Amino acid sequence: MTRVSIREVGPRDGLQNEDPVPTPAKVELIDVLSGTGVGRIEAVSFVHPKAIPQMADADEVWATITRNPGVRYSALVPNVRGAQRAIAAGFTEVEVVISASDTHNRRNINRGTDESLAELPELIETLHAGDATAELIIATSFGCPYEGDVDPARVASIVDKAVGMGVDRVAFGDTTGMATPRRVRDVLDRVTRDKPLLCHFHNTRGTGLANILTALDLGVTEFDASVGGLGGCPYAPGATGNVATEEVVHMLHDMGYETGIDLDKLVEAAELAQRIVGRELPSGVLRAGPRYRTIA
């Protein structure tokens, strides 16, 4: 039975796109998710509070959660300063984002793609010196809301440069839900497989699960997902949430894939997330329940 690894990104990528929620609520959500069987959780990001005020309490959240020894927790950072904060907090898995499109990178972190790549060796060196791994997430890998289509050759070039710099893992971000199965294939057929690969899909245009199936067919077995479908992108209007974790798990289990996740507990976590943000979340499995739940 093929094992698929899901990284839960709701506590970071999800909540940073909502109105700020209280620290105890963030802690509760992470602790509940830690008990679902999910193997990886992106817990916080270390960014300037003026840029992302929703993550201003990252240190407090990380210091307060109950860490499950069976879960790998990670943090997202935008630069060397963020990497230093993550190491000081004790993280051993860290992600950094660089956009494939120059315009989105400038909107996101105030510099061009080449400028971010120029800083990457120092960032990787900082993380490795602190006994942390460095994962590069290439945002807008499948399209940019400002520039339109992104040439897969450009994405492949960024991968080659990052691998040459010593990055440990590579992820492909569908930042605004512009990916389709065709474009997923175009990118994954082009890039090197020298490092572990992960895909991060949004469901903005309803293609999230189809994109995951395409990536699975191409040999990718690591994916990001967000409980309840939380998420979006603060620098891309209309980019609604990530593909919902419970929808991904529901589909994979029915197809015979193993994730290690208890779907019923995951749905309970999605219910909690919905209460925390105070709005109806887009997950169909949250709304209708798993297919094996029959009417009494």
- The span from the CA of 31 to the CA of 64, in Å, is 10
- The span from the CA of 138 to the CA of 172, in Å, is 5
Active-site residue among 233, 244, 277, 286?
233
- The span from the CA of 208 to the CA of 177, in Å, is 8
- The span from the CA of 156 to the CA of 138, in Å, is 10
Cβ within 8 Å of residue 247, ≥6 positions away: 208, 209, 225, 229, 283, 284, 285
Let me know if 199 is a catalytic residue: no
Q: Return the structure tokens found at 167.
A: 């990055």
Q: Return the structure tokens found at 106.
A: 């400038």
Handedness of CA 54, 224, 190, 118 (dihedral sign): positive
Nearest to 274 by CA among 44, 6, 15: 15
Q: Which residues are catalytic?
A: 233
